[in-house]
Amino acid sequence: MTRAIGIIAAAAIILLFATLMIVIMPSMQTQSRSHPSEGLKPYSEQALRGRAVYVSLGCVYCHSQQPRDPAQAPDGIRGWGRPSVPGDYSYDNPHLLGSMRTGPDLLNIGARQPSVDWHLAHLYNPRAMVPGSTMPAYPFLFEVMEEKSASDVELKLPEAFSPGHRLIAKPDALDLVQYLRELDRTYSVKVIPTLDKSAPAATEAQP
Ligand code: HEC
């Protein structure tokens, strides 16, 4: 009988220890790191709707949102911003870090390109704004303008790319562009994680 009690007590202690190490401590660790960076603003309602459009159109398959450490990739030189930190993603659930970089990193696109007109024209036909761009076009985010009302945002395209009729942006396009404009983590942060500086610095584009 005493032996059985000993075995049960030992099993209970092992179970408690395992729960502490595997469940409670990791959860405390992740919670203590989830504070938003100072300077990070929550997304506006419109941007949150735009974020859902970004997800539904699969932008994340070609665009990352995680500028990397200079020891890993020259993202700073490419103009994509400082290496991101966990607090930059406090309002991103789920995060859209991405793993492919067919196009540029977009975590700071709002700071690089704040123009609504530019984004709309680029979404309608990327080639109209960036010659030779391989990004797909999203013409279904626009519709033919019947009568212009005050709230309509007209698409402005270079003459050579004009479809011959006037187009306005659908709500999804405007929400998406607002989301892109709110992607801005250019505030400074106190702790930027650094990697071992003796590691060879990457000089070429890495997907
Ligand atoms: C098949 C890959 C692909 C997909 C999908 C894609 N893009 Fe792109 N994107 C690119 C490439 C390549 C470029 C660089 C050339 C250019 O600027 O058009 C780019 C450039 C951009 C830029 C300009 C970045 C800069 O630094 O100037 C923005 C903004 C952008 N994409 C937004 C989007 C959005 C929003 C979506 C989803 C609706 C999307 N992309 C989907 C490939 C893609």
The first and second tokens of residue 122, run together, are 């680029």
For residues 123 and 146, state if they share a domain: yes
Domain count, the chain: 2
The pLDDT assigned to 15 comes to 97
Cα pseudo-dihedral 32, 35, 37, 39, rounded to 10: -150
Asked whether the beta carbons of 106 and 67 are under 8 A apart, the reply is no
For residues 20 and 93, state if they share a domain: no
Q: What domain range includes position 23?
A: 1-32
The pLDDT assigned to 120 comes to 98
For residues 170 and 127, state if they share a domain: yes
CA angle 160, 165, 171 (to 5 degrees): 105
Pocket, ligand 1, Cβ cutoff 6 A:
54, 57-59, 61-63, 102-104, 109, 112-113, 126, 130, 133-136, 138, 176, 180
For residues 173 and 73, state if they share a domain: yes
- Chain-centroid distance, C-alpha 63: 8
Do the domain assignments include residue 49? yes
Is the backbone peptide bond immediately before 114 cis, with ω within 30 degrees of 0?
Answer: no
Cβ-based neighbours of 167, under 8 Å, separated by 6 or more: 124, 142, 143, 144, 145, 154, 155
Do the domain assignments include residue 162? yes
CA distances from 180 to 14, 44, 89, 112 (A): 50, 12, 15, 10
Which of 56, 63, 142 has the most ligand 1 atoms within 8 A of CB, as the residue to mutate?
63
- Chain-centroid distance, C-alpha 184: 10
For residues 136 and 61, state if they share a domain: yes
Which residue's CA is minimally distant from atom 41 of ligand 1?
59
The first and second tokens of residue 200, run together, are 């060879």
Q: What is the pLDDT of residues 134-174, one digit of tens each?
A: 999 999 999 998 887 888 999 999 999 988 899 999 999 99
CA 103 / ligand 1 centre spacing (Å): 5
Q: What is the pLDDT of residues 41-80, one digit of tens each?
A: 999 999 999 999 999 999 999 999 999 999 999 999 999 9
The pLDDT of 113-141, averaged and rounded, is 97
The yes-or-no verdict on residue 205 having pLDDT over 50 is no
Which CATH number belongs to the domain containing residue 155 in this structure?
1.10.760.10
φ, ψ (nearest 5 deg) of residue 128: -70, -30
For residues 22 and 62, state if they share a domain: no
For residues 20 and 55, state if they share a domain: no
The pLDDT assigned to 164 comes to 87
